[in-house]
Amino acid sequence: MIPAAFDYVAPDSLDGAIKALVDGGEDAKLLAGGHSLIPLMKLRLAAPSLLVDIRKLPGLRGVQRQNGNWRIGALTTHSELEFSPELGVVAEVAATIADRQVRNRGTIGGSLAHGDSASDLPTAMLICEAEVTLQGSSGQRTLPAADLFQDYLTTAVGADEVLTEIRVPALDGYGHAYQKFTRRAEDWAMVGVCAAVKVADGVVADARVGLTNMASVPLRATAVEDALRGQPATAESFAAAAEQAADGTNPPADLNASSEYKQHLARVLTRRALSEAAGE
């Protein structure tokens, strides 16, 4: 790898990191696991003047339960999530990311702050209705996941902000599934469907369905969710609701899939994800 020249700092405090970002100006970039930024630098599609490596920041790693929420430090790796089965859908989704080497280095904070439309954790955050904590030079704020993702590779994280923590409501009592469709095991999702379903007395009490790579940001398939609530938790219900999975979407075509094929996949994968989540 031969990137363009850059400076590098590894501050040992959050304040130090924020100050470095402010001082570094608009070409300063935060470096966490590096699995989004470094490939771009390798191709010279990104040429930051300064990398602010946050690996030394204290207290940004690990998972704790508090008041019905999971508090996940931004530097927690995909592997750590994958091997925390109590996280439910988050663990399941994390286990599908790329390959073992990437999961050992890549972090949840990096993935969310980068906002690649084909990445997996943003969709899980969306259906869990998670919130992220951002710390910047003008203080701290929290933001719902739905507001974090704005466009391709564009999130609400400010140039001087560090995403420090993710608060994920524990979906106790929900079954979950992530149907990720790829050509190869390690690939980005061609389409992914993340589902969490709560069933009571054979009836769908709540259903949440998120779509990966169907738009510039992760989407909720609200038509599917609305159609299912109160319906019997049967394969037939799921199949009928799944037909609406791509409604209102206009996914961009890419090398592997036309827009039409992605919409088809969204319907098939939604049906499968719902059935799997409900244990049908």
Task: Summarize as ranges the residues that interact with other proteins (CB under 8 A).
Answer: 2, 4-5, 43-44, 99, 181, 183-188, 190, 255-258, 261, 264-265, 268-269
How near is the Cβ of 265 to other proteins at its closest, in Å? 6
Closer Cβ to other proteins, 116 or 129, answer by number = 116
Which residue, 128 or 265, is less far from other proteins as judged by CB? 265
Edge to edge, the sheet with strand 131-136 lists 63-66, 69-73, 162-169, 131-136, 139-144
CB of 85 to other proteins, least distance (A): 22
Here the tokens at position 44 are: 């010279």
| C-beta of 33 vs 73, nearer to other proteins | 33
Residue 207 CB, shortest distance to other proteins, in Å, is 21
* Min CB(115)–other proteins separation in Å: 17
Going along 28-148, which residue ranges are E strands? 28-31, 50-53, 63-66, 69-73, 131-136, 139-144
Judged by CB, which is closer to other proteins: 198, or 267?
267
Single-letter residue type at 121: L
**In the complex, what is the shortest distance from the CB of residue 186 to other proteins, in angstroms, rounded to a whole number?**
6
Nearer to other proteins by C-beta: 166 or 265?
265
The least CB distance from residue 58 to other proteins, in Å, is 33
Q: What one-character DSSP code corresponds to residue 68? A: T
The position carrying tokens 């704005």 is: 150
Burial per residue of 173-208, b for 16 or more beta-carbon CB atoms within 10 angstroms, e otherwise: ebbbbbbbbbeeeeebbbbbbbbbbbbeeeebebbb
**Nearer of residues 117 and 164 to other proteins, judged by Cβ:** 117
Question: CA-CA distance, 270 to 206, in Å (whole number)?
Answer: 15
Q: How far is CA 211 from the centre of its chain?
A: 11
Question: At 212, is the secondary structure helix, strand, or coil?
Answer: strand
Q: Rounded to whole angstroms, how far apart are CA atoms 26 and 132?
A: 22
